[in-house]
Amino acid sequence: MGQLLRGLYFILITFSILFSYENNFSNSGSGKISLQHSPEFSEISGRYTRLVKIGQGHTTETGMPELPQFTTFYQLDPEKTYDFQLEVLDSYTIENITILPHQGMEKWEVENVNIINSKFYNSYAAFPEQNMVISERSQGRGIAFVSIQVTPYKYYPKYEKLEVFTDIEIQIIETGDNPNPQLTQPKRSRIFDEFYKDFIVNFEYSERPEDYQAPAILYIAGGNWINNSYVQDLFDWRHKQGYIVYTYDTPTSNENTIKSYIQNAYETWENPPEIVGLIGDTDVIDCFYHDWGPGGWNYYNGATDFDFTQLDGDDLIPEVFIGRISGQQTSVMENVINKTIQYEKAIYVDDDWFTKAALVGNPYPSGNSTIFTNQYIENMMINHGMTGVATDYDGYGIGSFVVNQFQDGILYYNYRGIYGDEGTGASSQFNNGYETPFVTTITCGTGDYDNGNSQSEGFVKMGSVNNPEGAVAAVGISTKGTHTAYNNIINMGIYDGIFSKKLWYAGASAANGDLAILATYPSNPSGITETFIAWSNLIGDPALHLWTAVPDNFAVYHPSIIFLGTTTVEIIVYNGDGDFVENARVTLLMGDDIIFSTGLTDEFGEITLNWNAVEAGYMSIMAMKQNFRPYEGSIEIPESLGAAISIIPGYIYANSGEPTQFEIALHNYGNSISENVIAELSSPSEHVTITQSIENFGNITPGSTVTKLFPVYINGTAHDMENLEFQLTVSDEFGNNWLNHVPVTISGPHLKVSDYSGELLPGMDTEITINLENQGSQAAIDFTIELISIDNYITVNSGMTNSVNIEAGNNLTLNGFDLSFNNDIINGSIFTMELLLTSSDEYSRIETFNITVGEVRESDPLGPDPYGYYIYDSGDTDYDIAPTYSWIEIADGLGEQLLIYDYGNGSNVGGTYTNGSTLIDLPFAFTFYGIDYDQIVVNTNGWISFGDFLMYSFRNYPIPGAGGPSPMVAAFWDDLKTGSGYVYYYETEEYVVIQWDNLRTFDGQSYETFEIILYNKEFYSPTITGDSEIKIQYSEFNNTSAGYYPNGGTPVHGCYATIGIENHLGDTGLQYTFNNIYPEAAAPLQNWSAIFITTGRQPRVHLSFENINLANGTLDIRMENDDPVAGFQFEIFGITITGISGGEAEANDFILSASPNMVLGFSTSGTVIPPGTHILSQITFSNYDGGEICFGTNPINNIVSNPYGNSLQTEWGDCASPSLMGDLNNDGSLDILDLVVLANLILNEEFDLNGDMNGDGQLNILDIVSLVNTILG
């Protein structure tokens, strides 16, 4: 179906739509996004049909049809306008259906239909009028975007007919220039880019460093806190670390006024704050409140600082990280800040402290999920190297356990359980000194900081400057109205941020807890999502740098003293083992920013920092990086007792592609003459030629200036605004040396690929066009452009364009690039291409860009994930590796029943949760994400984990991410019950089978039967990464766990099933489905379906045609094999096969047979063809059709197998285009006409290889004789 609809596009500056993290759309590239979905139906009042699931977006006009809606966000070029076109690719119609009219938002359940727009339901009108609505533009940090809302239905009430659009494509078409392109905040933030990428379907990072702001923190101090010396110490500490530190002494405690100040900073400052720390309790900086619940005893209103972060709409995504450094007494505030700084310095703690944590899960009465949540966190900590994780999961003796753990020293403390329990608050017996942990007590009432001291505040405020104890920071939850399911998600999300996502800041990790609940309940059912995001509060500095490992120590090479006049210093950073440290932030600071210079080290641990001031004194130097103890040192710049030579600050301006002269002035800031001053100009860049690098400045007396000219050529390939890192090394007669930075501003072109187009499909030869944009300030004149492939899967047949001219700010479309794409490319694969740019002065540089080959279809594999895993399903029939459903039944006596039991909802048989999992030794080593395992944990709830760490998670979540074990294979992760069936295990030396047989879901009571097969990689073709392979098969598949989420009441967790894989760190994985949403490449699962998980197989066999003799009707099959071959079967087209014989197959006693289009060979005696390069066999044939001779492509009919009967990954060679020797007129036969052509070639002294009948490299009478004999037979 090709129905085309057009959406309205409004260029306005407002935005009001609910944010949805769970993105149902996929980005197809080249300005296209797609949506696939399948509706679900329920009956209401015996007459009406409801399509909307609880928690799902839907139309909300009361009395009108209630239809599901889907929303995503799309990133825009702020300078362009766009049109959005919706095309329905697939649809179907349902007759005799009456759609439920929306009954309002007060209650989800509909028992009686009381509100209906009778006029519409009796009309011939269609609903909705528009299937796509584009929001007004919205802005974030340096980006613009819109929301796209799609209703993939059309309902005709009079006919009782519903059109369902199951496959939709949206084209985003650039239509012109935006007359109002300015962004409120044009600077991008690297921190918040990581947040945007999750919900914007086409999110792109900027490759321009100048687009990003400097790291910045804003501290807002209430009362008189800004004058406190410890508060000032915190400001200084952060500034030494390289942050721009803003401070604000608020004259008011009013939360709305303070938020307005933050909002103004966000919108107008050059480097707006990314982190905001509130200094003071609610007496000097008031908080907001967020309410939830239907009323009466079920109504709650909780304190929150989250509203301070909502600076651009109410989308539940923070614009800043927030935290409150709480304290009312001076001693308390000074204690909290002292603990913060000493925590980061890590001077007074042993290395053992960094390996320890304490986790409490009290199941009474909150249930076993409190334990499972902690086990997820425990597993993550252990996988990240924490060897001292202590746990208390039985609900008894918690108070003494927590005291003992604090006294022993722990890095993290986590509590999940009931309100008011012993583990929720601090104890006066802690006495833990500077070993202050990050605390998370995620249960009712722990974060009510506006009602006296909350329990989270109690942890942080403990101790004194002279006797520190308690926690360094803590996260708690406001109100007594929280719920276990939501608390669990926030709790796991916080630690997922700390460990899996490696978020360094306490504020970022707390925000990740919010994102976790947003990911699980993106549609904000009954206000759940926004409520629990608002109620989770961080007490402590949001800029706190969290430890997750035993810290390494820096070894920083820098001078301890430099001459006055030097304005550049080179620094090298090593770790404790003497290896270079990349991306360490190094900062120089003197006084009140007399000198402030900061940057990140390169891959060689090197950084050069520059400044302008010529000032005597001490510069502090600090190096920092996550899980490194900060290095603190100093560099002295002594008062000059003699000469002090330095460049006079000022910019030099130059154009690329032109010769110029740098006018450099040296000044003597000292008190004595400098004689015979020599200066050498240098640059490490390949895009500059210094014609004369050394100049003699002669003698420079105190207070005087000497100027010299340095001739320089800036190559035509130097980018606009490129830092060419010029330096000036100065020396004099007395052995003095000074090093100066020479700031140079380059004006020139900057060519970047902005877009490309063409039919880029696997197996095709195609022409692509490249759109080249000049982002520079000068025209690109007479450039040569050459396209280069750096991957064997792509061949550039024609890729050169000459005399390219592009004015500054303009685009140019280049044609004539002919490419060939390998047939083995998986649709949707991304390849990096190179553009060799050569300027008119014959200097060159390489720019790279990515192309996507093919569009992902449901018939393509899902993936890859960052490690390289793909998931193939039964419908991926274009790929040899796609699985076929072939059930291995082990519950009928072949397998062993595992003694694991489950009543559902975390209630396991026997009164203990430990009956839900069991540990099994594998009969072979299984490699998963690069790690070898010899044990697995099998759980009743449809998952296995590798290693020996027992977990019992029954609630499913998205993967990779918070919740569940790591590593894991989730075959059907849902809340499952035994009783109707059980779990079975069977092993051979070749594979292991785990079968969940006839289990039932807790929510829905549906039957499920499925199995995981783990393969021994020794029996199969090696994978690309060397990992083992997994097959999951579904005999009975019913994905029905929708859940129940009442307003203010206790929920029933739904989210259907989770299927996919996750690595041991929980930060990499591949999700096939969650919450009944499938990615575009994932075919919906059903009975008798299968998926196959692999990183792709290395080709082990290569077959090709050789020695084709059309006259004799023979050809050889050449085989290169890395593994022993025990059998083969393949098709050959373009000829009629008459026989097969000889070669290595016959030599190794293979039984050989042939049919007109297929050959077969196998051994019955156990012999094999050994690895090597051979002639497999010779084929005899007839009836050559004059075209290409090709191997078949159907994987069912074309197989090479090993001695175990398993298919070896095989590369089938290219088709052959043979020619008949002597057929010089190419008519397919040999006759007198060919003799005439051959005679003419000889007379004209021309050569044609096809006429060289005797193969001597010449054409003469001997070839005529040979051709005559061939014709005569």
3-state DSSP of 301-315: EEEECHHHHCCCCCC
Q: Are strands 438-441 and 473-477 parallel, antiparallel or unpaired?
A: parallel
Summarised one tens digit per residue, pLDDT across range 219-237 is 999 999 999 999 999 999 9
Determine the structural domain holding residue 670 and report its residue range: 645-743
Q: pLDDT higher for 1131 or 138?
A: 1131
Among 1119, 1112, 1149, 1115, CA closest to 1133:
1115
pLDDT beyond 60 at 1104: yes
Kindly tell me the burial class for residue 701, based on how many C-beta atoms sit within 10 Å of its own C-beta (0-12, 13-18, 19 or more): middle
What pLDDT, in 10s, does the model give residues 1047-1101?
A: 444 556 677 899 999 998 887 899 999 888 888 889 999 999 999 999 988 778 9
Both 589 and 471 in a single domain?
no
pLDDT at 7: 32
Please state, in angstroms and as integers, the Cα–Cα distance from residue 183 to each residue in 142, 144, 273, following that order. Answer: 7, 8, 17
Residues in the chain: 1273
Which residues, in sequence order, are bridge partners of residue 756? 770
Residue 860 lies in a domain: no
Q: What is the pLDDT of residues 61-77, one digit of tens each?
A: 889 999 988 877 899 99
DSSP assignments along 850-881, one per residue:
EEEES---TTS-B---TT--EEEETT-TTSTT
Q: Is 872 exposed, middle or buried (0-12, 13-18, 19+ CB in 10 A)?
A: buried
Could you give the CA distance from residue 32 to residue 36 in angstroms, rounded to a whole number? 14
CB contact at 8 A, 1267 and 1235: yes
Residue 13 above 80 pLDDT?
no
Q: How far apart are CA 1012 and CA 1029, in angstroms?
A: 11
User: CATH no. for residue 397?
Assistant: 3.40.50.1460
How far is CA 943 from each of CA 894, 916, 976, rounded to the nearest angstrom?
21, 11, 11
- The angle, 0 to 180 degrees and rounded to 10, between the axes of the packed helices 229-240 and 330-345 is 20
CB 59 within 8 A of CB 102: yes
Among 771, 772, 654, 664, smallest CA distance to 718 is for: 654
> Measuring CA to CA, which residue among 814, 744, 809 is closest to residue 780?
809
Q: How many other C-beta atoms can be found within 10 angstroms of the C-beta atom of residue 771?
A: 14
Pair (329, 455) in one structural domain: yes
Cα–Cα distance, 509 to 495 (Å, whole number): 7
DSSP string, 618-681: EEEEEEE-TTEEPEEEEEEEPPPSS--EEEPP--EEEETTEEEEEEEEEEE-SSS-EEEEEEEE
Backbone angles phi, psi at 1096, to 5 degrees: 95, 145
Please, which pLDDT band fits residue 368 given cuts at 50, 70 and 90? confident
CA 362 – CA 372 distance, rounded (Å): 10
Same domain? 665 vs 731: yes
Residue 926 confidence (pLDDT): 97
* Same domain (yes/no): 737, 669: yes
The secondary structure element, H or E, covering residue 1044 is none
In whole angstroms, give the CA distance from residue 902 to residue 914.
Answer: 10
Residues in Cβ contact with 592 at an 8 Å cutoff, skipping those fewer than 6 apart: none
pLDDT, position 2: 31
Instruction: Indicate the DSSP class of residue 1207.
Output: B
Statement to judge: residues 518 and 566 lie in one domain = no
Rounded CA-CA distance 945/919 in Å is 9
Assign 264 to helix, strand or coil: helix
CA distance 1182 to 612: 85
For residue 768, the number of C-alpha atoms closer than 13 Å in the C-beta half-sphere is 27
**Token pair in block for residue 123:** 């009309």
Query: What confidence category does residue 367 fall into, taking pLDDT thresholds of 50, 70 and 90?
Result: confident
Last residue of a domain, one of 149, 182, 209: 209
Can you give the pLDDT at residue 133?
87
Q: What are the backbone angles phi and psi of residue 268, rounded to the nearest 5°?
A: -120, -20
Residue 664 burial class via C-beta count within 10 angstroms: exposed 0-12, middle 13-18, buried 19 and up: buried
Residues 113 and 172 in one domain: yes
| CATH label of the domain that carries residue 167 | 2.60.40.3800
pLDDT over threshold 80, residue 1038 = yes
pLDDT at 952 over 90: no
Strand partners, 246: 218
877, 859 Cβ separation under 8 angstroms:
yes
CB of 1177 within 8 A of CB of 1147?
no
259 domain residue, yes or no? yes
Indicate the residue among 1042, 1063, 1094 that finishes a domain.
1094
Residue 17 has pLDDT above 60, yes or no: no
Q: Looking at residue 1047, what is its pLDDT? A: 45
Q: C-alpha angle with apex 28: 22 to 32, nearest 5 degrees? A: 100
**What is the DSSP code (8-state) at residue 35?**
E
For residue 842, the tally of other CB atoms under 10 A from its CB is: 10
Tokens representing 1018 are: 């020794």
**721 and 792 together in one domain:** no
Residue 864 lies inside a defined structural domain of this protein = no
In angstroms, how far is the first alpha carbon of the chain from the final one? Answer: 60
Q: How far apart are CA 49 and CA 63, in angstroms?
A: 14
CATH number at residue 575: 2.60.40.10
Taking a C-beta distance cutoff of 8 angstroms, is the pair 745, 693 a contact? Answer: no
pLDDT at 913: 52
For residue 72, the model assigns a pLDDT of 79
Looking at the structure, tell me whether residues 344 and 197 fall in a common domain.
Answer: no
Count Cβ atoms within 10 A of the Cβ of residue 180 and give its class: 0-12 exposed, 13-18 middle, 19 or more buried.
exposed
Say if residues 1072 and 973 touch (Cβ distance below 8 Å): no
The chain-wide mean pLDDT, for the chain, equals 88
CA max distance for the chain: 114
Q: What are 659-679's pLDDT values in tens digits?
A: 999 999 999 999 999 999 999
- 685 shares a domain with 631: no
pLDDT tens across 743-791, in order? 999 999 999 998 898 889 998 899 999 999 999 999 999 999 999 998 8
| Domain co-membership, 189 together with 251 | no
484-495 vs 369-383: helix crossing angle, rounded to 10: 0
Q: State whether 651 and 776 are in the same domain.
A: no
Question: For residue 369, what pLDDT band results from cuts at 50, 70 and 90?
Answer: confident
Provide the pLDDT for residue 484. Answer: 81
| Total number of domains constituting the chain | 8
Q: What is the mean pLDDT of residues 872-886?
A: 91
Q: Could you tell me if residue 1226 is inside a domain? A: no
Bridge-partner residues for 65, per DSSP? 101
Last residue of a domain, one of 809, 826, 853: 853
> Does residue 96 lie within any of the structural domains?
yes
- Dig out the tokens for 142 from the structure: 């340096």
Cα–Cα distance, 491 to 366 (Å, whole number): 14
Query: Helix or strand or coil: residue 1156?
Result: coil
Decide: pTM greater than 0.85.
no
Residues 86 and 129 placed together within one structural domain of the fold: yes
C-alpha 979/C-alpha 532 separation (Å) is: 36
What local confidence, expressed as pLDDT, does residue 109 receive? 64
d(CA 460, CA 473): 6
What is the predicted pLDDT for the residue at 907?
63
Beta bridge partners of 821: 794
Residues 6+ apart with CB under 8 A from 374: 359, 360, 361, 391, 393, 414, 416
Judged by average pLDDT, the poorest of 313-317, 331-335, 546-550, 631-635 is: 313-317
Q: Which of 311-320, 626-635, 711-720, 841-850 has the lowest mean pLDDT?
A: 311-320
Asked whether residue 865 is assigned to any structural domain, the reply reads no
Residue range 510-521: mean pLDDT, rounded? 80
Contacts for 345-351: CB closer than 8 Å, 24+ residues apart: 345/629, 345/630, 346/547, 346/551, 346/629, 347/629, 348/433, 348/434, 349/409, 349/434, 349/435, 350/409, 351/550, 351/551
Side chain identity, residue 572: I
Give the list of residues 6+ apart from residue 800 with CB closer than 8 angstroms, or none: 784, 785, 786, 787
Beta pairing partners, 1010:
996, 1034
CB atoms within 10 A of CB 261: 15
pLDDT by residue (tens digit) across 418-467? 888 889 999 999 999 999 999 999 999 999 999 888 999 999 999 999 99
135-192 pLDDT, tens digit each: 878 777 888 888 788 999 999 999 999 999 988 999 999 899 999 888 878 899 888 8
Give the distance from CA 968 to its chain's centroid.
19
Per-residue pLDDT at 57 exceeds 70 = no
